[in-house]
Structure 1
């Protein structure tokens, strides 16, 4: 017998041939390759991805609409005043009393101040109609015409209270006080420095000429003195020379025929007229006017006159005030007050002078201020009349 492997060779060939025939017998359509376009291709590519563009800016938020304000409620009408509560203990209701004087005064004051009043009710309207109207206040006294500090060429002018100025030719009686020496306690302030000192006023005349000297002596600071000399005329004092002596001496001279005041420091001349005074004689001239006829100068009368220092001349204005009781180092004194009113030059002196009828209307107190803080206040300590 032959080998078994050799016997299997023909069988294997038959099987392979059968398989081949089977494969070749399949339909061709079923095994055709797909078109190129229908084939699925897988490729790997390197793709560079561009960064995304920045996002557009966010739009600004629209402002929220303002809330519509609620309409203001109309004020509720004021309720009628409630009646006063009745007392718990039964009692007859008192009869309404008429308004007292205090109530009427308050109503007048409210009317003068023009204060707002509550809406009128019917009762208020009836009461208002029945109430008499308050009398109109009296008209204020007319102020004298404004005089410039530079109107030094004008004569003295007197303006009685509530009247027009007197004509310059109006005769004014004069009664000069007799000679006297007056000692004062002086206090004041200069450039923030407070001081106390002694002061003295010496006054004398012989009916034709006069001389006045006022001095203030301060310990460690020396003396300051003012001197006035001049003539006695039917119109009072007519100064010829005025001297102011302190750390240095300055003076002014007055020439009425030429209408000039001349100053030692070379300042330009000032125009003057009859009635001019210096800063010391002015107080004695006022004394002479008041002593001759105080009834001519009722309270509110204004006296304007040119007053000169050692370097300039200005208009001074005095207003006659009331008689006051003063407590002075010499004792209690009744004195007529004249206020020196401020002028247009705010640095000029202002203040007051008090004239005592029992001392020939000589000054018993003089208070003058200059600037905001500086002042001097002279109060009479001793009065010595000069016997002839």
Structure 2
């Protein structure tokens, strides 16, 4: 009895130690999960109450898979005519040689016509419409969008990155337009799609003009687990930009926000207003939550990306330093075979935080409606 009693005592002591050890491990695990979530909140949630709810999504149905189109080779320009230099005549030779009669049948060389979409914005406004669609837009007024804009499109991405440790997730970008109205909506989720640990949403809304995208409102929203989504807004009112804290600054011509800049860069390359050439720098005025200033994107070069659709060639654009402190910077890869839409995006925000979005499925587009004609130019000369 004594033996069994002592054994029972030791067995109970062992069970109590095991329970206490399990509780410690559980407490450490919960503390680790809490630290990770707090880190996500620290990096992603610079929260402030939003002035009002963002505008609802435009009612556009996206059901048509977008197919890659071959990129036409650039057409060679006219070859220069090389002529031998003619020595200047002397006084004696000028008096001895009579002036030559002009040949009546000599052909006259004229410069080749330039595509209207390849002209810069001021020249484009003064050019004659080259098609019935452009003539219709000219009749509708100066604020009517041109026919070169991509159809409403949705792109889905896989996400890998580093936020206080390796993370995985998914993302999607929507470009929506109805007549002269547009929306750009970007969502990035970390963790399982049905129950993500954190989500960030960027939304831009405004008008499409012959001079490009004209934002009217930008909203950024962050949600961590069960917490109430919080965020901020940037508004474009007349000639001013109203920042997240209410500061009002003059609005530069062609200013964009953190979401609209992606499609604006697409439009610049798609229409030939900016050349896709290694070393070229594209300047875009950008309105951030706390500042307004020019951002310079360098065309690093073109390369082949491994995507879920196979290898896709794309032009790599990277913002040049110096950048505002703690700014949300994005590198983009724009594919000519997909109308220069972004097939890869790398988002960075200081302290080693980065996310890489890579195209995961064929883009979805709307069927061609009457007020949204197909883009008239994909790779102008």
Q: Who is 1:184 aligned against? A: 157
Q: TM-score, normalised by structure 1?
A: 0.52
Do the aligned partners of 1:187 and 1:377 also contact (CA within 8 Å) in 2? yes
Note the 1:12-27 alignment, pairs <5 A.
none
Alignment counterpart, residue 231 of structure 2, candidates 240, 246, 249: 249
- Any idea what the Cα deviations from partners look like across 1:276-302, whole Å, max 9, x if unmatched? 000010010000111112773432221
Q: Displacement, 1:254?
A: 0.5
The change in CA–CA distance for 1:215 and 1:291 in structure 2 (over 3 A counts) is same
- Any idea what the Cα deviations from partners look like across 1:249-293, whole Å, max 9, x if unmatched? 2101012x3x21113433x22322220000010010000111112
Q: Displacement, 1:201?
A: 0.7
| Corresponding position: 1:292 with 2:258 | no
| Alignment partners' CA distance in 1, 2:184 and 2:364 | 15
Alignment counterpart, residue 345 of structure 1, candidates 324, 345, 361: 324
Do the aligned partners of 1:176 and 1:287 also contact (CA within 8 Å) in 2? no
Kindly tell me the number of residue pairs found equivalent between the two proteins.
219
Using CA pairs below 8 Å that are at least 6 residues apart, which structure has the higher relative contact order?
2
| Corresponding position: 1:359 with 2:335 | no
| Alignment partners' CA distance in 2, 1:297 and 1:281 | 19
Q: Who is 2:190 aligned against? A: 218
Range moving further from structure 2, 198-207 or 226-235? 198-207
* Structure 2: segments with no counterpart, 5+ residues: 1-118, 126-145, 224-229, 369-381
Corresponding residue SS for 1:296: coil
Corresponding residue SS for 1:315: strand
| Alignment partners' CA distance in 2, 1:231 and 1:327 | 34
Corresponding residue SS for 1:200: strand
Do the aligned partners of 1:242 and 1:310 also contact (CA within 8 Å) in 2? no
| Alignment partners' CA distance in 2, 1:295 and 1:305 | 11
Range moving further from structure 2, 197-206 or 169-178? 169-178
| Alignment partners' CA distance in 1, 2:262 and 2:203 | 13
Do the aligned partners of 2:120 and 2:273 also contact (CA within 8 Å) in 1? no
The change in CA–CA distance for 1:168 and 1:211 in structure 2 (over 3 A counts) is closer
Alignment counterpart, residue 197 of structure 1, candidates 145, 148, 169: 169
| Corresponding position: 1:263 with 2:243 | yes
| Alignment partners' CA distance in 1, 2:304 and 2:120 | 34
Do the aligned partners of 1:208 and 1:231 also contact (CA within 8 Å) in 2? yes
Q: Who is 1:322 aligned against? A: 301
Question: In angstroms, what is the RMSD of aligned CA positions?
Answer: 2.5
| Alignment partners' CA distance in 2, 1:223 and 1:344 | 24
Question: Deviation above 4 Å: which 4+ runs of structure 1?
Answer: 166-174
Q: Who is 2:70 aligned against? A: none
Note the 1:60-79 alignment, pairs <5 A.
none
Note the 1:94-113 alignment, pairs <5 A.
none
| Alignment partners' CA distance in 2, 1:223 and 1:347 | 19
| Corresponding position: 1:384 with 2:364 | yes
Range moving further from structure 2, 313-322 or 276-285? 313-322
| Alignment partners' CA distance in 1, 2:323 and 2:267 | 27
Q: Displacement, 1:218?
A: 2.4
* Structure 1: segments with no counterpart, 5+ residues: 1-165
Q: Who is 2:254 aligned against? A: 275
Q: TM-score, normalised by structure 2?
A: 0.53
Q: Which one has a bigger Cα radius of gyration?
A: 1
Do the aligned partners of 1:174 and 1:236 also contact (CA within 8 Å) in 2? no
The change in CA–CA distance for 1:322 and 1:294 in structure 2 (over 3 A counts) is farther
| Alignment partners' CA distance in 1, 2:200 and 2:148 | 29
